[in-house]
A and B are shown apart, each in its own frame.
Chain A
Amino acid sequence: MSLLSYYNYWIAIVLMMVGLYVVMSHANLVKKMIGLNVFQVAVFMLFISLGKVRGGTAPILDPAFTTYSHPLPHVLILTAIVVGVATTALGLALAVRIHEAYGTTEEQDALKRDDAESGAR
């Protein structure tokens, strides 16, 4: 029983950690953004699962139903998704500009170039 009532949260946590691992370990900036997206979706899942009621239905009021899942997490996550794509686009735009300036999207290569330039000066 306890395993069944918590596995939703655990899967969200595992996915969150996959996202965190990608953000921390990978040096490619585009890959980092994708990892951040994975993390983000996992947080959304945790939020949505907190609003769910067993036997409930979607919060669209109708006389045929009495039990509804909580609408507030849905509202918060809905707007967060659209804000998420806008901020992802901003991150990707920065990655594109970094690529134009440094010729690479790998973090350590860009840093190495910076070091070389400051050493030469």
Chain B
Amino acid sequence: MSGWMLIDVALFAILLCSGIAIAKIRQLFAVAMLSGIFSLTSACIFVMQDAVDVAFTEAAVGAGMTTVLLLGALALTRTREKLTPTARSVPALLVALTTGALLVHASGDLPAFGIEDSPVQTHPVTERYLVSSVEEIGVPNVVTSVLASYRGYDTFGEVVVIFTAAVAVLMLLGQRAPREVRERAAPMRDRQRVLRVIAKLLIPFILLFGLYVQFHGDYGPGGGFQAGVIFAAGVVLYALVFGLDAARAAVPMRALRPLLAAGVLLYGGVGVATLLLGGAFLDYDLLAAEDPVAGQHLGILLVELGVGITVTSAMIMLFYGFAGRGIGRGVGRS
């Protein structure tokens, strides 16, 4: 037990140090990299607390996608922030300290960490998810069955939010940039031979791993959200090493735009199909005649596929939006 404790303390120490460094350092490139470290460390803590699916997502999204997007945004703006005046930092510090003290005081009312009879664990829904889901859904990974079946409405909402955010970013950054912005960006030099060879070897496996995560999500950690980000990471790596134009030629924008909508439509379509079969929205039991568990399997597969398609195209479009802003539309085919 003490070994685990030691790992826990070390991870928390790294997390706190990088958090404070993020607040102190004014060079934003360094801050972006630190936020990647921060996310990766928090992913390790999620593994320690049994949340393997969450850790997976945080590692792929926080350490991967967010860092790339931050760097993309920094390339288009200033990389050094101005000194924060004391007149601003002191009141903020006071407010943060007071709020923190109040929250620490209030946390005394929370159940102690990890006890078995906390309200979370004794609620009837826990039994339903961890015991009945075997007969009702028949999927070993409870996170997947809760995500795609029990709380399918929520997940549908989240997918729509991702869709909307991607559309909004496209509206903000997809237009032709002003001339002075366009001319500032230097073209990508593709001299790094080692990088190109390694990337060429890695990318097929990244894509294959993405497919594995997508379709193995019922039995192990994974699912549409993680798979989408991993798949997009493969394309982002390709764009970083071979240049944005090559990536845009391989995965063109005109394919991504319909795919972004297709994922949401597939998810919603499953819901409408169950409605037409006489059930409730997203009630997968009716998808297979006479066998509710087979229906659940089919429903979860389709819904996760919809999530995967939307997340993949959203992530690639977000990256194109930031990376293509400096270059402008005339150079790359979009």
* Chain A contact residues, CB within 8 Å of chain B: 2, 4-11, 13-22, 24-31, 33-35, 37-38, 41, 44-45, 48-54, 56-62, 67-90, 92-97, 99-100, 104-106
Which of chain A's residues have a CB closer than 8 A to the CB of B315?
85
Distance of A81 Cα from B225 Cα, bound (Å): 9
* Majority secondary structure, A binding face: helix
Within 8 A of A (CB), among B289-334: 311, 314-315, 318, 321-322, 325
Q: Are B22 and A38 in contact (CB under 8 A)?
A: yes
Contacts of B96 in A (CB 8 A): 17-18, 20-21, 24
Interface residues on B, range: 35 or more
B15/A30 in contact, CB under 8 A = no
Beyond the given pairs A20-B96, A30-B73, A35-B23, 14 more chain A to chain B contacts, judged by CB atoms under 8 angstroms and listed by A's residue number, are: A17-B100, A18-B19, A18-B22, A30-B77, A37-B66, A48-B46, A51-B120, A53-B116, A77-B54, A78-B223, A84-B61, A86-B162, A92-B72, A97-B173
**How many angstroms from the CA of A20 to the CA of B102 in the assembled complex?**
14
Name the B residues within 8 Å of A29 (CB-CB).
77
Q: B165 contacts A87, CB within 8 Å?
A: yes
Which residue in chain A gives the minimum CB-CB distance to B145?
A71
Residues of A within 8 A of B154 (CB): 75-76, 79
A91, closest chain B residue (CB): B73
Q: Which of B122-130, B190-198, B206-214 contacts A (4 or more CB under 8 A)?
A: B122-130
Bound together, the chains give a CA A61 to CA B45 distance in angstroms of 21
Instruction: Tell which of B31, B50, B168 touches A59, judged by Cβ atoms closer than 8 Å.
Output: B50
Contact A85 B65, CB 8 Å, known A9-B113, A21-B93: yes
On whether the beta carbons of B161 and A83 are closer than 8 Å, the reply is yes
- Contact A88 to B66, CB < 8 A, known contacts A21-B93, A24-B92: yes
A6-B107, A34-B70, A60-B220 known; A85+B61 contact, CB < 8 A = yes
Residues of A within 8 A of B113 (CB): 4-9, 49, 52, 54
22 A-B pairs with C-beta separation under 8 A: A2-B112, A9-B107, A11-B16, A14-B100, A17-B100, A17-B103, A25-B88, A45-B42, A45-B45, A59-B129, A60-B140, A60-B219, A71-B143, A83-B161, A83-B165, A85-B66, A86-B166, A88-B66, A89-B321, A93-B322, A96-B325, A104-B78
Does the CB pair A25–B172 fall under 8 Å? no
A-contact bits for B117-159, CB 8 A (1 contact / 0 none) = 0101100011001100110000011110011000100110010
The reply to whether B97 and A54 contact each other, CB–CB distance below 8 Å, is no
Min CB distance A17 to B, Å, is 4
> Are the C-beta atoms of B23 and A21 separated by less than 8 Å?
yes
Q: Does B12 contact A (CB under 8 A)?
A: yes
Check B103 against A16 for contact (C-beta < 8 Å): yes
Measured in the bound complex, the distance between the Cα atoms of B57 and A80 in whole Å is: 10
Please give the residue numbers on chain B whose beta carbons come within 8 Å of chain A beta carbons, in ascending order: 12, 15-16, 19-20, 22-23, 28, 31-32, 35, 38-39, 42, 45-46, 49-54, 57-58, 61-62, 65-66, 69-70, 72-74, 76-78, 81-82, 84, 88-89, 91-93, 95-97, 99-100, 103-104, 107-108, 110-116, 118, 120-121, 125-126, 129-130, 133-134, 140-143, 146-147, 151, 154-155, 158, 161-162, 165-166, 168-169, 172-173, 177-178, 181, 219-221, 223, 225, 228-229, 311, 314-315, 318, 321-322, 325
Cβ–Cβ < 8 Å partners of B20 in chain A: 18
Q: Tell me whether B81 and A10 are in contact (CB under 8 A).
A: no
The 5 nearest A-B residue pairs measured at CB: A5-B112, A25-B92, A54-B114, A28-B81, A86-B165
A113 → chain B, closest Cβ, in Å?
A: 15
Instruction: Give CA–CA (A116, B191) in the complex, Å.
Output: 47
Question: Chain B contacts of A50 at CB under 8 A?
Answer: 110-111, 118, 120
Inter-subunit contact B88/A58 (CB<8 Å): no
Contact assessment for A34 and B42 in the assembled complex, using a CB-CB cutoff below 8 Å: no
Residue in contact with A73 in the complex, picked from B12, B51, B134, CB distance below 8 Å: B51
List the A side residues contacting B45 at CB < 8 Å. 45
Q: How far is the CB of A27 from chain B (nearest CB, A)?
A: 7
Q: Smallest CB-CB separation from A20: which chain B residue? A: B96
CB distance from B121 to the nearest CB of A (A): 6
Q: Are B172 and A48 in contact (CB under 8 A)?
A: no
Contact of B147 among A37, A75, A84, A86 (CB under 8 A): A75
